[in-house]
């Protein structure tokens, strides 16, 4: 039997009427990408749904994966964007801390909270926060032929505990609370930076994800907890001896896979406070400082005439030539290839 293509099938369903389409429990618009995704309407393996009895929910919730950080160098956060049709999730939970941000059309969610059904209108930018092992029931009520476009940020509870301990908080007394918010500018800013990192290739940079995931965990601890948390505050930047030690460590390890936690450990501090005080001292985050230090070292290597761009990138810890080129142009205003061409032109002029 000849297989029906997406467009004719969509037209046929419309002819059969809305009742038939909904009886199939499918949104008519799903057939616009049916040929591309086929049976990929599966929940992300990176943060599956579980039943409240601890069993894995077979099949999960239907979705189409649009973007994912899985497989990158980011260890502390998972960033994924999905398209969802109308669906129902009853008595389920996550085993990680999950943030869901509506990045598409306005949608309506129905939540069952303390035995009462609540309807929540989600405009673009609206946030749902699901703490680990907190059961919930939810129904996505989307317009027919419109899919929910959701960006997920997923944090491991163990990582959040480490951040809490770095903030000198009593991790055993921390309780994060399920919340529905119409907006959260700080969280939204971090989320968009993480998504941009996956889109641009910055997900290959471990420090980029490490810094943002730490900021995200600290924000959750402060704004989504059961109590107001007041961590110790420090001002004035790093002591000079610690700053010099950090700079020396960075310069010595430029070619290595540097991390904020590694640098902080070298100076005997928690990653969170080190990052804050380092920026107060230098005007740059550790990630920004490391990237610029690598670019300047690469320029030194290239001006010797002994290294290709690819070799210089490898020697200073960039992932590849394009990674170096992007940051080189940002720091110096021109790509490294142009620098080499100018160098060759000057060398030729000297000979004559």
| Per-residue pLDDT band at 350 (split at 50, 70, 90) | low
| Per-residue pLDDT band at 156 (split at 50, 70, 90) | very high
- Helical axes 240-252 vs 271-282, angle rounded to 10°: 100
> DSSP of 257-275, one letter per residue?
---HHHHHHHTT--HHHHH
Q: What whole-number distance in Å separates Cα of residue 146 and Cα of residue 152?
A: 19
Average pLDDT estimate for 162-191: 88
pLDDT at 234: 55
| Per-residue pLDDT band at 217 (split at 50, 70, 90) | very high
Q: Which of 84-93, 112-121, 123-132, 272-281 has the lowest mean pLDDT?
A: 112-121
Cα 316 from chain centroid (whole Å): 25
pLDDT at 165: 84
pLDDT at 111: 82
Where are the extended beta strands (E) located within the chain? 50-51, 64-68, 77-84, 87-93, 97-102, 107-113, 116-122, 127-130, 136-141, 148-155, 179-181
In contact, 209 and 69? CB cutoff 8 Å: yes
Say which residue, 127 or 172, is predicted with more confidence.
Answer: 127
pLDDT at 273: 85
| Per-residue pLDDT band at 260 (split at 50, 70, 90) | very high
pLDDT at 25: 30
Average pLDDT estimate for 11-38: 34
Average pLDDT estimate for 152-163: 93
The yes-or-no verdict on residue 12 having pLDDT over 60 is no
Average pLDDT estimate for 166-187: 86
Sign of CA dihedral 325, 329, 334, 336: negative
| Per-residue pLDDT band at 252 (split at 50, 70, 90) | very high
63 DSSP 8-state letter: -
| Per-residue pLDDT band at 26 (split at 50, 70, 90) | very low
Its pTM stands at 0.74
pLDDT at 72: 86
The yes-or-no verdict on residue 202 having pLDDT over 80 is no
| Per-residue pLDDT band at 10 (split at 50, 70, 90) | very low
In contact, 149 and 81? CB cutoff 8 Å: yes
């Amino acid at each position: 039997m000849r297989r029906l293509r997406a467009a004719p099938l969509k037209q046929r369903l419309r002819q059969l009427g809305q009742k038939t389409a909904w009886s199939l429990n499918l949104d008519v618009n799903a057939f616009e990408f049916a040929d591309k995704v086929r049976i990929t309407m599966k929940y992300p393996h990176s943060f599956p749904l579980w039943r409240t009895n601890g069993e894995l929910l077979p099949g999960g919730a239907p979705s189409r994966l649009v973007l994912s950080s899985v497989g990158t160098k980011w260890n502390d956060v998972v960033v994924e964007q999905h398209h969802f049709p109308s669906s129902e999730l009853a008595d389920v939970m996550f085993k990680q801390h999950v943030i869901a941000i509506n990045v598409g059309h306005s949608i309506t969610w129905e939540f069952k909270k303390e035995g009462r059904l609540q309807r929540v209108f989600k405009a673009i930018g609206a946030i749902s926060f699901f703490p680990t092992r907190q059961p919930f029931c939810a129904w996505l009520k989307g317009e027919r032929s419109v899919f929910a476009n959701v960006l997920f940020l997923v944090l491991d509870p163990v990582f959040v505990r480490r951040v809490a301990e770095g903030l000198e908080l009593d991790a055993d007394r921390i309780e994060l609370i399920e919340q529905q918010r119409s907006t959260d500018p700080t969280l939204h800013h971090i989320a968009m930076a993480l998504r941009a990192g996956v889109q641009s290739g910055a997900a290959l940079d471990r420090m980029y994800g490490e810094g943002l995931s730490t900021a995200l965990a600290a924000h959750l601890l402060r704004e989504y907890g059961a109590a107001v948390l007041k961590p110790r505050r420090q001002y004035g930047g790093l002591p000079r001896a610690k700053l010099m030690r950090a700079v020396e460590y960075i310069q010595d390890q430029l070619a290595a896979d540097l991390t904020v936690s590694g640098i902080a450990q070298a100076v005997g501090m928690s990653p969170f406070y080190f990052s804050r005080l380092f920026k107060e001292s230098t005007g740059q985050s550790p990630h920004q400082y490391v990237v610029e230090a690598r670019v300047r070292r690469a320029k030194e290597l290239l001006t010797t005439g002994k290294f290709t761009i690819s070799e210089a990138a490898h020697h200073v810890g960039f992932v590849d030539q394009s990674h170096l080129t992007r940051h080189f142009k940002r720091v110096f205003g021109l790509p490294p290839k142009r620098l080499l061409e100018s160098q060759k032109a000057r060398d030729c002029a000297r000979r004559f």
